Amino acid sequence: MDSLALEQARGWVAEARQIFVLTGAGISAESGVPTFRDALTGLWERFDPEELATEEAYRRQPALVWQWYQHRRELVAAARPNPAHHALAVLARLKSMTLVTQNIDGLHQKAGSEQVVELHGNLFANKWLDGCGRCDTVPPIPGDPPRCAICGAMMRPGVVWFGEDLPRVARFRADHAAESCDLCLVVGTSGLVYPAAALPGVAKENGARVIVVNPKPSALDETADIVLPAPAGECLPLLWPQAV
Ligand code: BJW
């Protein structure tokens, strides 16, 4: 990593009055959680996550998609936050900051971050698909999603699939954070999924400096004033010394 760029980024964090942090799957990679666009492994290697994460896929193959989420729930339940998650929890105590994540893994909260804005929901939440309003669960057939005993509706994970609107309050808080920050720190996202990927551009248009932390090139590099090409768990603790 270029030490001049690192030094400049440290200075920008120190000077910042209002920080907006946008995180993606890469921040949890060092916790052992595969990123969304990593190739799937084991039983799942034949499947494309972009094709599983839709309501259409769920309606077509509910057991398959439900089992994919159950597999990921087990994996994430065993994962622990890494130094990048911890560093952001420390930063929130030092600075005025809004932490917006696309992640559904809850690892920021496990590291002690509060008021995390979850743009894409949470892996451990459930909701009903076409529920009757009085839905009540019956024990599921193993492997199948639970169904409502009254109307037969299926339970589904409380995440945001492609083509679905983001939770309104989370969207509002994220937009406000992007519009009102003077520093935008983007960590571990490919910058391919909208509307989240548009937020750093909004910050920049409103005069903020933009720092991207990602070991590989991303679609947000052209928006960035500084790109730090390093793993988040190594890089973030260097950006504010109190996090080391
Ligand atoms: C490291 C690292 C280390 C590795 N340290 N880094 C405008 C233009 C084009 C398309 C659209 C548009 N607006 C909307 C769309 C459609 C669509 C979209 O964006 N499609 C694109 C793919 C083209 N968007 C939507 O459908 C959204 N909904 C919507 O817009 O609704 C409109 C509407 C309005 C009103 C009514 C109805 C509808 C919804 C998007 C939902 C996204 N959901 C998912 C799945 C969640 C559940 C699940 O996980 O199963 O969210 S998709 C998936 O991508 C997941 C992620 O949060 C999201 C972003 O991925 P992320 O985090 O960037 O991960 P990766 O894997 O892509 O990248 C990881 C990065 O980490 C890499 O760069 C690595 O290098 C890096 N890395 N190790 C730091 N150690």
User: Tens digits of per-residue pLDDT, 135-189?
Assistant: 987 777 788 999 998 999 999 999 999 999 999 999 999 999 999 999 999 999 9
Assign 241 a pLDDT band (cuts: 50, 70, 90): confident
Structural domain ending residue among the three candidates 98, 133, 159: 159
Q: What is the mean pLDDT of residues 208-234?
A: 98
Number of domains in the chain: 2
Looking at residue 51, which CATH number applies to its domain?
Answer: 3.30.1600.10
User: Which of 30, 52, 193 gets mutated to test ligand 1 (max ligand atoms within 8 A of its CB)?
Assistant: 193
State residue 243's pLDDT score.
60
Q: What is the mean pLDDT of residues 110-132?
A: 96
221 marked as part of a ligand binding site = no
What is the identity of the amino acid at 228? L
Q: For the sheet containing 117-118, what is the strand order?
A: 117-118, 97-101, 19-23, 183-187, 209-213, 226-228
237 and 209 both lie in a single domain: yes
53 and 17 both lie in a single domain: no
**pTM given for the model:** 0.97
139 and 116 both lie in a single domain: no
d(CA 208, CA 16): 9
Q: In this structure, which residue's CA is closest to atom 11 in ligand 1?
A: 194
Between 94-103, 122-131, 134-143, the lowest mean confidence (pLDDT) is in 134-143
State residue 71's pLDDT score.
94
- Give the helix/strand (H/E) hosting 235: helix 232-239
17 and 86 both lie in a single domain: yes
108 and 128 both lie in a single domain: no
186 and 66 both lie in a single domain: no
Q: What is the mean pLDDT of residues 70-99?
A: 97
pLDDT tens, position by position, 38-50 = 888 777 888 999 9
User: Which of 21, 35, 166, 220 gets mutated to test ligand 1 (max ligand atoms within 8 A of its CB)?
Assistant: 35
Buried b vs exposed e over 211-244: b needs ≥16 C-beta within 10 Å?
Answer: bbbbbeebebeebbbbbbbbbbbbbbbbbbeebe
Looking at residue 205, which CATH number applies to its domain?
Answer: 3.40.50.1220
181 marked as part of a ligand binding site = no
56 and 177 both lie in a single domain: no
9 and 109 both lie in a single domain: yes
Print the domain residue range for 213.
3-32+81-120+166-243
Query: How big is the chain by its Cα radius of gyration, in Å?
Result: 19
215 and 239 both lie in a single domain: yes
8 and 115 both lie in a single domain: yes
CA of 27 to the centre of ligand 1 (A): 14
49 and 70 both lie in a single domain: yes
149 and 207 both lie in a single domain: no
Structural domain ending residue among the three candidates 140, 159, 178: 159
d(CA 142, CA 139): 9
